Amino acid sequence: MGIIKDEHRRLKPSHAQSPMTSKLKILLLVVSTNLLSVFLFAGSSGWVAPAVHFVDSGTLLRELNATQRQLSNTLWQVSQLSKLLATANSLLETTLTDIGKAHREEEESPDEDLEKWARRLTGELKLVVGPHKFPLGYNPNIGSDELYPVLGTSCRRYEEELVKYMSYEVGGECPSDEWFAQRLMLKGCEPLPRRRCHPKSPVGYVEPAPLPESLWAIPADTSITWDAYTCKNYSCLLPASVPPEFPESDAIEHGRVGGVQLMSEAEEMIEPEDTARPQHPNGRRCATLMCTISVAHRLPFYDNTLDLVHSTHVLSNWIPDAMLEFALFDIYRVLRPGGVFWLDHFFCLGHQLNATYAPMFDRIGFRKLRWNAGRKLDRGIEKNEWYISTLLEKPMT
C-alpha cells in the first residue's frame, strides 16, 4: 500500500506539467508497471478461497488431532476388551475342562454313583438293587466281597415306576401288572428286578400233553393268565397268528422247542443223545435250551412256563441270603403249576441247614417231594459240611 501512495505522488507533477510524449510513455510504462505490480500485489492478497482453507486447516488439524486421540483411545479400549475376552475365554475353557473331567470321573466310577443310589432306596427295591456282602467274605473267583443283582441300566431312570413295581406283599401274590412290567422292559429296564411274590396262577391249569404232541397242541384257555391281554382265549388269538402249514420236521430243524431245561451256570453241555438227559417226573422228555446267565440275573422266561429247573452245585451258601431268596422266588415264578425244582448238591454248614435254608425253602411256597440232607465227608466230619438234594414242586394252584 505504501508503494501505491508513492506512485500517486510521482504522477501528480507529470499531470501538472505540459508532458512530452516520450516522457509520457515512460511515465505510462512506469504507471502500468506499477499498476501491474499493484495489480499483482492486490491479486496475491485477493485469493480469498485458498486463504480461508489455510486459516481453517489449523482447526482441522486440531480436530484431526482430537480424532486421532479418540481413535487411539478407542484402540486402547479395544485392546483392553480383547484382553478381558481372552481371560474370560481361558476361564471358560478351564471351567469346561473341569466339568468334562468331573463328568468323565462320574462315568469312570459308576459304582460310586450306584452305591449312592442304592443307599437312598428303601424296602424291597433296596434289597433287589443291592449290594449284598458275600457270607463267606471276599470271593477270589469273583474278585469282590459283595454282589450286585443284575438290573437293566435304564431301570434307574424310572425310579418311580420301579418303586411301584417293587410294591407287593412279600410271599403273597404278585400284582397283576404284566403290561406295566413289559412297558418298563421296553424302555430298557431289562432285566427287571426279581420279586419275592408268586405270579398269579391260571384259573384252571391243565397239564400239557407229553412231547412231541405238546409242541402242536393248543394249551387249555384256563392254563393261561389272560389279564394283560385283550384276548381272553386262544380262539381269539389264533386266526391272526397261525403261520402257513409246514412239515413238523422243518420246525424241529429250526430249533423250535416245547420245553426247557435250565442249567443255571451250566457246567457241561448235555448231548442230545445223552441218556442221562433229565426227564420230567411225569416221563416227558425235556428239550434243552442253553442260556448263560449269572445267579444274580432274573431268569429270562415267562411266568408259569417251565416244567423243570435243575440246579446242581451252583446255588449254595456262598450266595447272600437275600439274593438266594430272590433267586428261589424267581425259579418259582418261571415254573409252571406242577413244575419241579430239582435242587441238587446244595452245600451248607450243619448249623445253617435248619436255621437258615430249610425255613427259606419253606417260605418260597414249594411242596417238598423229596428232601435229602447228607454230610459231606471228604474234608473231615469235624467240618460239619452238608449237602441238600431236594425235589420241590410248585403247587397246581
Helix axes 48-108, 110-120, angle to 10 degrees: 70
Among residues 104 and 375, whose Cβ is nearest to ligand NAG?
375
Residue 318 CB, nearest approach to ligand NAG (Å): 19
Q: What are phi and psi of 152, to 5 degrees?
A: -55, 140
Among residues 220 and 353, whose Cβ is nearest to ligand NAG?
353
Strand segments (E) across the chain: 132-133, 146-147, 261-263, 306-312, 335-349, 367-376, 385-393
Rule CB under 6 A: say whether 67 interacts with ligand NAG: no
Residue 45 CB, nearest approach to ligand NAG (Å): 25
Task: Give the SS3 label for residue 128.
Answer: helix
Choose, by CB under 6 A, the member of 25, 62, 104, 133 that binds ligand NAG.
Answer: 62
Among residues 135 and 172, whose Cβ is nearest to ligand NAG?
135
* Contact assessment for residue 166 and residue 193, using Cβ atoms and an 8 Å cutoff: yes
Rule CB under 6 A: say whether 353 interacts with ligand NAG: yes
What is the distance between the alpha carbons of residues 153 and 387, in angstroms, rounded to a whole number? 36
Rule CB under 6 A: say whether 236 interacts with ligand NAG: yes
* Contact assessment for residue 396 and residue 222, using Cβ atoms and an 8 Å cutoff: no
Rule CB under 6 A: say whether 103 interacts with ligand NAG: no
Task: Tell me the helices (H) and strands (E) count for the chain, helix number first.
Answer: 13, 7
Burial category of 117 from C-beta neighbours within 10 Å (exposed 0-12, middle 13-18, buried 19 and up): middle
Q: How many Cα atoms sit within 13 Å of 251 on the Cβ side?
A: 12
Residue 236 CB, nearest approach to ligand NAG (Å): 4
Choose, by CB under 6 A, the member of 350, 372, 383, 395 that binds ligand NAG.
Answer: 350
Residue 232 CB, nearest approach to ligand NAG (Å): 5
Whose grid coordinates read 413295581? 165
Choose, by CB under 6 A, the member of 35, 118, 231, 270 that binds ligand NAG.
Answer: 231
Among residues 157 and 232, whose Cβ is nearest to ligand NAG?
232
Stretch near ligand NAG under the rule CB under 6 A, chosen from 127-135, 227-235, 314-322, 338-346: 227-235
Rule CB under 6 A: say whether 269 interacts with ligand NAG: no
Residue 124 CB, nearest approach to ligand NAG (Å): 30
Give the residue among 190, 201, 247 at the shortest CA–CA distance from 223: 201
Choose, by CB under 6 A, the member of 32, 45, 65, 182 that binds ligand NAG.
Answer: 65
Among residues 7 and 321, whose Cβ is nearest to ligand NAG?
321
Whose grid coordinates read 469346561? 96
Residue 132 CB, nearest approach to ligand NAG (Å): 25
What is the distance between the alpha carbons of residues 353 and 350, in angstroms, rounded to a whole number? 5
Stretch near ligand NAG under the rule CB under 6 A, chosen from 24-32, 57-65, 273-281, 305-313: 57-65
Choose, by CB under 6 A, the member of 61, 75, 84, 228 that binds ligand NAG.
Answer: 61
Residues 6+ apart with CB under 8 A from 333: 174, 195, 198, 199, 299, 303, 304
Choose, by CB under 6 A, the member of 214, 233, 305, 356 that binds ligand NAG.
Answer: 233
Stretch near ligand NAG under the rule CB under 6 A, chosen from 129-137, 160-168, 293-301, 349-357: 349-357
Among residues 138 and 371, whose Cβ is nearest to ligand NAG?
371
Sign of the C-alpha dihedral, residues 347, 352, 358, 364? negative
Rounded to 10 degrees, the C-alpha dihedral 79/80/86/91 comes to 180
Residue 203 CB, nearest approach to ligand NAG (Å): 13
Choose, by CB under 6 A, the member of 232, 313, 370, 383 that binds ligand NAG.
Answer: 232
Q: What are phi and psi of 338, to 5 degrees?
A: 85, -5
Residue 355 CB, nearest approach to ligand NAG (Å): 8
Binding site for ligand NAG (CB under 6 A): 58, 61-62, 65, 231-233, 235-236, 350, 353-354
